[in-house]
């Protein structure tokens, strides 16, 4: 079956609501249903898949998002590059609400989430050292700047379990470690994309100062996050569509599958006859 999508976007209905000829498809996966149907559309001549990670009516809290099903669905549709915007809190004063951060690292503080496709029988270790594609990050940074949005070109996102926010003690700890932003969904989503051989980039939309520790403001509330996110959501749509228009014809340049070359732990040399999970769906 020929690919029905090249580029995947984890985002809400705002991304595709104004696009013509949007098609809704349901994708069965070995990990149950994804968060919602996948919306397929053509953007700037490119085949794009949109999937709201929390469901179209935002009914799935962060710890209940079916991350493996979502990522598998993208891979099954032929996606090679994934853009993964998310709302995030700031842990450092210079990361002001309303700005965007293109993160290059994550710290996992979640628990109990199904976070790998490789449950055996062949042990496989995928390095997360460069989870986020450097070339996709460069593209995102340029698109953000060209749209006049304050941009932090790197940063570490701390991923907490949710749905609760951090205590002041936790927030103070994260800040003291030098980490920049905090979110509830980047892990295992981004890492699973890497396991499936898809290049991925994160754009963190800064909505607040986490727990008010850094700025001396009041502790964050869901209402505060949503108010700033409304403004950010309009701007991220422009950035994402701009990124799509700039992507090269050959998306393999982003190196999505490069990290999988030397990841098997069964002690045998790789041969052309080997069949890997991510290759079966290619």
Active site residues: 208, 210
Cα–Cα distances (Å) from 9 to 35, 78, 95, 238, 260, in that order, read: 13, 13, 24, 13, 22
Of 101, 25, 20, 109, nearest to 62 by C-alpha is 109
Q: Are 211 and 165 in contact (CB under 8 A)?
A: yes
Question: What are the two backbone dihedrals, phi and then psi, of residue 34, each rounded to the nearest 5 degrees?
Answer: -65, 180
DSSP-assigned letters across all residues of the chain: ---S-SEEEE--GGGTTTSSS-EEE----TT---SSPEEEEEETTEEEEEE-TTTTTT-S-GGG--HHHHHHHHHHTT--EEEEEEEEEESSTTS-TT-EE---EEEEE--S----S--SSS-B----TT-S-HHHHHHHHHHHHHTT--EES--EEEEE--SS---HHHHHHHHHTT--EEESSHHHHHHHHHHTT-EEEEEEEEEEEGGGTTTS-PPP-HHHHHHHHHHHHHHHHHHHHHHHHH--S-GGGG-TTGGGTT-B-SS----TT---HHHHT-
Do residues 70 and 34 touch, judged by C-beta distance below 8 A? yes
């Amino acid at each position: 079956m020929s690919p029905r999508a090249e580029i995947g976007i984890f985002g809400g209905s705002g991304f595709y609501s104004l696009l013509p000829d949007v098609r809704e498809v349901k994708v069965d996966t070995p990990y149950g249903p994804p968060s919602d149907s996948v919306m397929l559309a053509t953007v700037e001549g490119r085949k794009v898949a949109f999937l709201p990670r929390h469901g179209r009516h935002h009914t799935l809290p962060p710890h209940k998002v079916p991350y493996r099903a979502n990522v598998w669905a993208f891979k099954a549709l032929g996606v090679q590059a994934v853009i993964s915007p998310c709302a995030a809190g700031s842990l450092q004063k210079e990361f002001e609400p309303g700005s965007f951060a293109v993160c290059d690292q994550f710290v996992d503080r979640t628990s109990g989430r199904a976070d790998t496709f490789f449950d055996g029988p062949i042990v496989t270790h995928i390095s997360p050292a460069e989870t986020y594609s450097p070339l996709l990050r460069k593209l995102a940074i340029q698109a953000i700047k060209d749209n006049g949005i304050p941009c932090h070109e790197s940063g570490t996102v701390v991923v907490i379990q949710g749905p609760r926010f951090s205590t002041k003690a936790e927030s103070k700890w994260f800040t003291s470690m030098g980490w920049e932003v905090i979110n509830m969904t980047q892990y295992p989503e981004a890492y699973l994309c890497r396991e499936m051989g898809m290049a991925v980039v994160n754009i963190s939309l800064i909505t607040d100062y986490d727990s008010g520790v850094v700025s001396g403001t009041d502790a964050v509330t869901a209402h505060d996050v949503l108010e700033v996110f409304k403004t950010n959501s309009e701007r991220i749509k422009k950035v994402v569509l701009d990124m799509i228009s700039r992507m090269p014809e050959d998306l393999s340049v982003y190196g999505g599958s490069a990290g999988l070359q030397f990841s098997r732990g069964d002690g045998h040399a790789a041969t052309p006859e080997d069949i890997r999970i991510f290759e079966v769906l290619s």
